Amino acid sequence: MPKRSRLLLLAASSLVLAPLSALSQEEVSPAAAKEAATAEGDFQFECVHADRPIQVYGYRPSDYQGGLLLVLFHGASRNAKSYRDGGRVLARKLGMLLLVPEFDRARFDVAAYQEGGVMKDGKVQARDQWTFAYLHPLLQQVFQREGKKLPYYLVGHSAGAQFLGRMAALYPNEAQRMILVNPGSLMFPDRAQKYPYGFGGLPEEMASDAAIQRYLAAPLTLYLGTGDVGLKNLSTGEKAMKQGTTRIERGRNCLEAGKQLAASKQWKFSWRRVEAEGLDHPSLPMWNHANCRLAILGTPESSSTPGPPGPAE
């Protein structure tokens, strides 16, 4: 990256951050942030929550015009830089600003990452200690740099899809859509399965009918490779296997469970399923597949603008 661009990014990251609600679509940030926002290519910055900084890797396509934001949650490899590099094709294809936060394995184990940091030693943690809570300062920092709020989409692959699915269940946000790509396990909309597989064992305010109803109304898409049937790195414990024997089976089962519950309760159901025929688990082929745009934006490959959600499948 040119020296001038690096200096601009550092200047932008040092700005005092305003509350998200204070930044409208029309408001403009200080000049340093505005100028930094025009820099093309890769960039990196630090995001801090609860005194624990994480690195965020980003990419701005050359034709990005300040439109949509895509936050991508990496898999179990915890290599956000590699996900950023692979995600460039996704950012260019969709014309979106790309961010990939890194949750390293040393500080964020399975309970803290895939399960969101909700539980520790069998006890529910304070909400501001959940790993999901990084979303707010991350967005706040980006909106400040860009000079306005951006419509944003959240995408998680593999372990990141597990993280994002549980966020959808327990941590409401303003994402245009949350896309779970080949998750190894999911948060089923029931109390029969204990967390992190369902709402069982959680306090009433987190597991009530109202909470489950809100989950089913969330803009959630399951983007699944039909060839993702291998057992490598797949949880095969008794609780996980109750959801299905493969990732594709678990994804289909979770959506069907949500669909049936919503119909029986006459609740709104906003989930969708999009499949990539023949594809296995890796992320890059999923990004290159013709159905990727449909999964994220709700429009087919030939369209360039987001459309209304399609029917649940």
Instruction: Pick 30 or 180 by higher pLDDT.
Output: 180
Q: Where do the domains of the chain lie?
A: 39-297
Question: What pLDDT digit, counting tens, does each position of 266-313 carry?
Answer: 999 999 999 999 999 999 999 999 999 999 999 887 655 555 444 445
Max Cα-Cα span within the chain: 59
* Mean pLDDT within 26-34: 45
Give the mean model confidence (pLDDT) for residues 16-37: 42
Better-scored residue on pLDDT, 129 or 10: 129
pLDDT, tens digit, 9 for 90 and up, residues 76-97: 999 999 999 999 999 999 999 9
pLDDT-derived band at 49, boundaries 50, 70, 90:
very high
The answer on pLDDT for 42 being more than 50 is yes
What pLDDT does 262 receive? 98
Task: Calculate mean pLDDT across residues 189-194.
Answer: 98
| 10 has a pLDDT exceeding 70 | no
pTM over 0.75: yes
Per-residue pLDDT averaged across 60-75, rounded? 95
Residues of the chain with pLDDT > 90, as a percent, come to 81
Query: How far is the C-alpha of 273 from the C-alpha of 127, rounded, in Å?
Result: 30
Q: How far apart are CA 218 and CA 16, in angstroms?
A: 32
Q: Mean pLDDT over all residues of the chain? A: 88
Q: How confident is the model at residue 11 (pLDDT cuts 50, 70, 90)?
A: very low
**Which of 3.40.190.10, 3.40.50.1820, 3.40.50.1390, 3.30.70.270 would CATH assign to domain 39-297?**
3.40.50.1820
Is residue 242 a contact partner of residue 196, using CB atoms and an 8 Å limit? no
Is residue 5 predicted with pLDDT exceeding 50? Answer: no
Per-residue pLDDT at 31: 52
pLDDT band at 38 (very low <50, low <70, confident <90, very high): low
